[in-house]
């Protein structure tokens, strides 16, 4: 399973989530060593709606163990069954009461207490299912082998449930149902929140839903667990989405991985951060790298050229921008950008 991400606009000065390019259908929970396939530079989904909470109902009218009104009536002292004058049953002389209030669920005064149910005898409620139902068409064997290997640390039945939710999230992302994918990722996290692949899925789907604060928290956890820098560009893009381009640049400087693909991702996000700060000339310098023309035809080159064209457009260099949008269309064999629409 490839690492996955979201959709958002590239470095043409736009914020994350307002973008123009669709990612390649990111898969959550994948750790095959590749970069995020739903990368900064692609469109993101809409923000999820919150679920209203509910408050518990009112207090009961009576208190457990309280005496009923007929027991509170005072009258002449009566002789109890034990023959003691002047008090209630078991009372002391002088009318001083010693009986304790009846406990909740106890027998009426003077009666024999009924048998108490043990915890084993009480009716047991069936356990509530965690999260949405896993679709029948989900095949957990299609998950990345590295993910399946991580899930082997769990009990077998639990590992299968978590794998089912991850596979369902992957399937729904491919169908552009980002909200549905996120619900499955949340269910997986409730079951196995200490598994890095699960936290990765939670972060990726939150990013796709434009919940940048939650995505950033989850991806930070993945980085702590694995020491992997592959998701740093996405984390930096979350900082952009939260209106903190300076932090995005600081985060990108910490990347230790020398992977060429990670370099391209980092340059695109860094250029976007510079454009957020109206530093379009600096953004153009960041994107003017050999990979702009040296990369093979495909999504990566198309996105880089698209970002470059967007910055030229922001600088008012319309002719050059149109030329690079045309190049992006030629490179975009997978249809991950809307470069063709920008030319119309």
- The two most distant CA atoms of the chain are separated, in Å, by 112
Residue 71 has pLDDT above 80, yes or no: no
State the average pLDDT over residues 308-317.
97
Residue 20: pLDDT band with limits 50, 70, 90: very low
How confident is residue 72, by pLDDT bands cut at 50, 70 and 90? very low
For 296, the token pair is: 């093979």
Q: Which two tokens stand for residue 321?
A: 């921008």
CATH number of 140-343: 1.25.40.10
pLDDT above 70 covers a percentage of the chain that reads 62
Helix (H, G, I), strand (E, B) or coil at 92: strand
Q: Is 128 exposed, middle or buried (0-12, 13-18, 19+ CB in 10 A)?
A: exposed
**Distances, alpha carbon 14 to alpha carbons 23, 116, 175, 244, in Å:** 16, 67, 25, 13
pLDDT in tens, 159-195: 999 999 999 999 999 999 999 999 999 999 999 999 9
Q: Let me know: does 248 contact 270? Beta carbons within 8 Å.
A: yes
Measure Cα distances from 322 to 220, 271, 306, 312, 327 in Å.
Answer: 38, 19, 10, 9, 9
Radius of gyration for the alpha carbons in the chain, expressed in angstroms and rounded: 32
pTM above 0.95, yes or no: no
**Residue 206: predicted pLDDT:** 98
Assess whether pLDDT exceeds 90 at residue 339.
yes
Q: What are 21-67's pLDDT values in tens digits? A: 333 334 454 443 433 444 434 433 333 333 333 333 333 333 333 33
Residue 127 is predicted with a pLDDT of 59
Phi/psi of residue 193, each to 5°? -70, -10
pLDDT at 131: 80
- Whose structure tokens read 């898969």? 27
Does pLDDT of 333 surpass 90?
yes
Best CA proximity match to 233, nearest among 213, 217, 214, 254: 254
Q: Is the pLDDT of residue 15 over 60?
A: no
30 near 343, Cβ under 8 Å?
A: no
- Give the model's pLDDT for residue 257: 78
pLDDT band of residue 7 (cuts 50, 70, 90) is very low
Q: Residue 282: which residues within 8 A CB-CB, separation 6 or more?
A: 274
Task: Please state whether 14 falls in left (phi above 0), alpha (psi between -120 and 50) or beta.
Answer: beta
* Stated length of the chain: 344
Distances (CA, A) of 34 to 4, 5, 146, 147, 245: 9, 12, 12, 13, 25
Domain ranges of the chain: 140-343
């Amino acid at each position: 399973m490839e690492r996955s991400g979201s959709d958002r606009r590239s470095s043409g000065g736009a914020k994350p989530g307002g973008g123009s390019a669709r990612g390649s259908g990111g898969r959550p929970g994948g750790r095959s060593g590749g970069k995020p396939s739903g990368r900064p530079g692609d469109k993101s989904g809409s923000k999820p709606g919150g679920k209203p909470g509910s408050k518990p109902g009112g207090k009961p009218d009576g208190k457990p163990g309280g005496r009923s009104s007929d027991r509170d009536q005072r009258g002449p002292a009566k002789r109890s069954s034990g023959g003691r004058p002047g008090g209630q049953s078991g009372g002391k002389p002088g009318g001083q009461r010693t009986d304790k209030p009846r406990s909740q669920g106890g027998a009426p005064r003077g009666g024999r207490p009924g048998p108490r149910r043990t915890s084993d005898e009480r009716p047991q409620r069936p356990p509530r299912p965690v999260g949405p139902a896993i679709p029948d068409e989900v095949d957990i064997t299609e998950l990345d082998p590295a993910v399946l290997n991580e899930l082997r640390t769990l009990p077998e039945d639990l590992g299968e449930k978590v794998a089912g939710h991850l596979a369902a999230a992957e399937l729904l992302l491919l169908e552009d149902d980002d909200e549905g994918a996120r619900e499955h990722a949340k269910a997986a996290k409730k079951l196995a929140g200490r598994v890095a692949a699960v936290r990765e899925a939670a972060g990726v789907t939150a990013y796709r839903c434009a919940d940048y604060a939650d995505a950033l928290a989850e991806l930070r956890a993945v980085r702590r667990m694995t020491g992997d820098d592959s998701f740093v560009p996405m984390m930096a893009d979350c900082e952009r989405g939260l209106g903190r381009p300076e932090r995005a640049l600081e985060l990108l400087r910490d990347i230790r991985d020398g992977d060429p693909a990670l370099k391209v991702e980092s340059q695109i996000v860094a250029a976007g951060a510079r454009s957020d700060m109206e530093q379009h000339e600096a953004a153009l310098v960041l994107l003017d790298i050999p990979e702009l023309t040296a990369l093979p035809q495909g999504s990566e080159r198309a996105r880089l050229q698209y970002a470059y064209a967007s910055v030229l457009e922001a600088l008012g260099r319309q002719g050059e921008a149109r030329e690079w949008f045309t190049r992006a269309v030629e490179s975009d064999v997978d249809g991950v950008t809307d470069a063709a629409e920008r030319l119309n």
